[in-house]
């Protein structure tokens, strides 16, 4: 290296600065044009804000359809982020008949939508329509975040002895007890009048939910992300499509229906009712001990939204004999939507489902004995 090299580098940087600045702003300003949720799909059923989509597989190999359920915050397109980086695309390629519940954009008129309505009506009916459309008698449920908790509640709901038509239950970064999370510091205190806020707002604006989520890691979310993008642009390593699709998804925040938000805060950050079996939906008890399906639980080591310790009590509650636990490094969303997931986690999920979706016998474990892999 010659003495002039740092000087040459500095001049090169200075010359490239306007170009880099333009590219950087262009990436930020054209984020809305990013393609998100591009896999072809058809509408199977709609009710109020809820829509059930079907992604048909041209190489269908498994008789048991798979129903994907995402959280009540953010959009379910994270399952189908962008071509080449889409869990849905991967699963239909593996031969699964994939359905997806989209909770839509609840507004003030949907303030009366509570967990009762989401579990007992919307999810129950989505399951029904999935079975009707696919001609199957049972399905696999895959929930993510709040969606996973809704799926667990659905399977734990008292049906007077009747079993829900769910063979396999895959739960991704699922909160069960949030009392030790940062959220609990914010909304767990009784002085925070959650009833009043939900009544005033009707449905809690998506922007407020997004702001709260970002405030959990303020420097990372409000600064580091943009700084890293700038460095990527300077080094020529910025991945425009990857950044834009994720940024677009993060910025798309539907409101949280008021009643459901209120119930969620009580359930997760104050009472931990699912642990104690005290939750009641439409006067029917929700007891996780009723869950006897084949269960796959996926936790993320660096999950600050649904920290792993808040999921682990689930294993002590359920009655399933076939329980598997994937514990992986990564964050709440990055675990499943990150670039590493495609190589390792998705094939693992597909393999777990495949073994249990074609009528072959599943490996049996002792009750509550989870395999950690």
Give the interface segment with other proteins, choosing from 58-66, 108-116, 249-257, 305-313 (CB under 8 A): 108-116
Q: Give the Cα separation of 306 and 285 in Å (integer).
A: 24
Beta strand 66-69 with 139-144: parallel, antiparallel or unpaired? parallel
Are the beta carbons of 248 and 34 closer than 8 angstroms? yes
270 is a site residue for other proteins (CB under 8 A): no
Over the Cα atoms of the chain, what is R_g?
22
- Report the residue from 132, 239, 276, 371 that binds other proteins according to the rule CB under 8 A: 132
14 is a site residue for other proteins (CB under 8 A): no
Q: Which of 97, 102, 177, 303 is catalytic?
A: 303
User: At closest approach, how far in Å is the CB of 220 from other proteins?
Assistant: 6
SS3 at position 331: coil
Are the beta carbons of 289 and 260 closer than 8 angstroms? no
Which of 115, 142, 147, 144 is CA-nearest to residue 130? 142
Nearer to other proteins, 33 or 235 (CB): 235
Site string for other proteins, 155-184 (x = CB under 8 A): ---------------------------x--
User: 303 catalytic, yes or no?
Assistant: yes
User: At closest approach, how far in Å is the CB of 268 from other proteins?
Assistant: 15
- Report the residue from 25, 26, 30, 185 that binds other proteins according to the rule CB under 8 A: 185
- Report the residue from 32, 42, 196, 363 that binds other proteins according to the rule CB under 8 A: 196
User: At closest approach, how far in Å is the CB of 195 from other proteins?
Assistant: 11
Q: Give the Cα separation of 5 and 9 in Å (integer).
A: 6
User: At closest approach, how far in Å is the CB of 302 from other proteins?
Assistant: 12
Phi and psi torsions of 42, nearest 5°? -130, 150
- Report the residue from 38, 131, 133, 212 that binds other proteins according to the rule CB under 8 A: 212
User: At closest approach, how far in Å is the CB of 197 from other proteins?
Assistant: 5
SS3 at position 362: coil
Nearer to other proteins, 14 or 219 (CB): 219
SS3 at position 330: coil
User: 120 catalytic, yes or no?
Assistant: no
Nearer to other proteins, 217 or 342 (CB): 217
User: At closest approach, how far in Å is the CB of 272 from other proteins?
Assistant: 18
6 is a site residue for other proteins (CB under 8 A): yes
Binding to other proteins (CB under 8 A) within 46-65 occurs at: 47-48
Please report the beta strands in 19-92, taking only residues with DSSP state E, as ranges in sequence order. Answer: 42-47, 50-55, 66-69
Q: Give the Cα separation of 371 and 373 in Å (integer).
A: 6
Nearer to other proteins, 124 or 252 (CB): 124
Beta strand 98-102 with 66-69: parallel, antiparallel or unpaired? parallel
- Report the residue from 224, 278, 285, 358 that binds other proteins according to the rule CB under 8 A: 224
CA 31 vs. chain centroid, Å, equals: 22
Q: Containing H/E element for 281?
A: strand 280-281
Nearer to other proteins, 47 or 371 (CB): 47
Nearer to other proteins, 108 or 351 (CB): 108
- Report the residue from 60, 95, 112, 210 that binds other proteins according to the rule CB under 8 A: 112
Phi and psi torsions of 98, nearest 5°? -105, 130
Q: Which of 145, 155, 266, 325 is catalytic?
A: 145
HEC states along 86-127?
CHHHHHHHCCCCEEEEECCCCCHHHCCCCHHHHHHHHHHHHH
User: 145 catalytic, yes or no?
Assistant: yes
**H helices then E strands: how many in the chain?**
16, 11
Chain residues binding other proteins by CB under 8 A are 1, 6, 9, 47-48, 107-110, 112, 121, 125, 128, 132, 182, 185-189, 191-193, 196-197, 200-202, 208, 212, 215-220, 223-224, 227
**Residues identified as active-site:** 145, 303, 332
């Amino acid at each position: 290296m010659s003495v002039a090299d740092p000087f040459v580098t500095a001049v090169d940087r200075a010359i490239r600065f306007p170009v880099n600045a333009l590219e950087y702003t262009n990436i930020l300003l054209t984020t809305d044009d990013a393609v998100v949720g591009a896999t072809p799909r058809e509408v199977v059923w709609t009710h109020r804000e809820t829509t059930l989509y079907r992604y048909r597989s041209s190489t269908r190999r498994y008789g048991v359809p798979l129903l994907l359920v995402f959280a009540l915050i953010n959009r379910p397109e994270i399952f189908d982020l962008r071509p080449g980086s889409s869990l849905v695309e991967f699963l239909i390629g593996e031969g699964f008949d994939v359905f997806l519940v989209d909770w839509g954009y609840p507004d003030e008129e949907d303030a009366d939508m509570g967990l009762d309505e989401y579990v007992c009506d919307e999810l129950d009916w989505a399951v029904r329509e999935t079975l009707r459309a696919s001609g199957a008698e049972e399905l696999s449920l895959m929930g993510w975040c709040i969606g996973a908790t809704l799926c667990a509640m659905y399977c734990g709901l008292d049906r007077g002895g009747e079993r829900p038509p769910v063979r396999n239950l895959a739960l991704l970064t699922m909160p069960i007890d949030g009392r030790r999370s940062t959220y609990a510091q914010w909304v767990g205190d009784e002085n925070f009048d959650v009833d009043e806020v939900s009544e005033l707002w009707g449905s809690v604006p998506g922007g407020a939910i997004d702001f709260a989520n970002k405030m959990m890691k303020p420097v990372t979310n409000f600064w580091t992300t943009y700084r890293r993008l700038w460095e990527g642009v300077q080094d020529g390593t910025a991945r425009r499509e990857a950044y834009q699709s994720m940024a677009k998804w993060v910025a798309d925040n539907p409101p949280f229906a008021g009643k459901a938000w209120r119930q969620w805060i009580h359930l997760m950050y104050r009472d931990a009712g699912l642990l104690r079996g005290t939750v009641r939906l439409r006067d029917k008890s929700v007891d996780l001990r009723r869950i006897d399906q084949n269960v796959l639980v996926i936790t993320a080591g660096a999950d600050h939204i649904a920290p792993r310790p808040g999921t682990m009590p689930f294993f002590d509650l359920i009655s399933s004999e076939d329980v598997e636990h994937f514990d992986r490094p990564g964050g709440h969303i990055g675990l499943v939507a990150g670039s590493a997931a495609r190589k390792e986690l998705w094939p693992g999920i597909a393999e777990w489902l495949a073994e249990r979706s074609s009528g072959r016998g599943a490996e049996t474990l002792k009750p509550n004995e989870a395999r950690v892999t």
